[in-house]
Amino acid sequence: MSESTVVVFGDQPPVHLDRVAERAKVLVCDEKSLPQALPVADVLLVWDFTSDAVRDAWPGEGPRPAWVHTASAGVDRLLCPELIASDTVLTNARGVFEQPIAEYVAGLVIAMAKDFHGTWELQRQRRWQHRETMRLAGTRAVVVGAGPIGRAIGSTLAALGVVVDLVGRSARQGVRGGDELPGLLPSADWVVCAAPLTEANRGMFDRSVFDRMKSSARFINIGRGPLVVEKDLTAALMARRIGGAALDVFEHEPLASDDPLWDVPGLFVSPHMSGDTVGWRDHLAEQFQDNFERWCAGEPLLNIVDKRLGYVPVD
């Protein structure tokens, strides 16, 4: 096999790709140089997974890589009709983010149940105000998204005594079908969005969903921003139709400093960081290099995305 060319797209590419560099020519490109780099790439590593540049450049002239790997769980920012229809194999970073995100969601749930925000505020005011908080065990959570991230969230919450309903596109063992979601919402204390973004579910969390939730329920989104109609969530919080919410992802990122979401009462805002733990970039680089060795050996790649579905199918 002749020397392959691996193109790494990103302004801050991974430092450690030693195993790849031993077996291939590695080129680094940014948004400006990506259109010229694509035709010479056998493999494309999308390190900057926050950019739309690959989707924009893919329909251009010349050959396209045989394999594209993105250092993210979601692939919505890459997919275009031409990539979907091509023979290019697409893989993602499944296996890196699941447990960190599950821990983040569990942290949010505990913090909301125990009113840590209120305790911190009272401490700031030097006020001794005894309160009662929610017992977490026995509460109910609906986790929408039955992939690895949703499953990790479900098992982590279950370890805390939360009764979990996992909701996917269709019903199967241990998973409720999407058509059951409206009936599950009225009894849920926690509604967690962990779904991938597809055209079919864009804006799925809208007023109709928030109106079905009970007034004490909390909503958490660690999936993708466009899954939520942000103005409908804002209205629900402002009117106190739900008890609170936490968003780690947004329709437009980064969130502008003058965005009204910063000031919505009962809303916890975090900057798309739920899966990013110390050393996560090294884990992503190692995962890609492991898969690259499989590619060089002619072995089946791991984490192959069904491009028409937009995610790695779960067995």
Active-site positions? Answer: 224, 253, 272
Cβ density class 222-244: b for 16+ within 10 Å, e for less: bbbbbbbbbebbbebbeeeebbb
Q: How many CB atoms within 10 Å of residue 50?
A: 12
Distance CA 107, CA 111 (A): 6
Q: Pull the structure tokens for residue 74.
A: 């979601």
Half-sphere exposure of 315 (CA within 13 A, CB side): 2
CA distance 292 to 277: 24
What tokens does 184 get? 């599950």
Q: Give the number of other Cβ atoms within 10 Å of residue 182's Cβ.
A: 11
> How far, in Å, are 54, 228, 288 from residue 8 at the CA level?
11, 31, 11
Structure letter (DSSP) for residue 309: T
Number of H helices, E strands in the chain: 11, 12
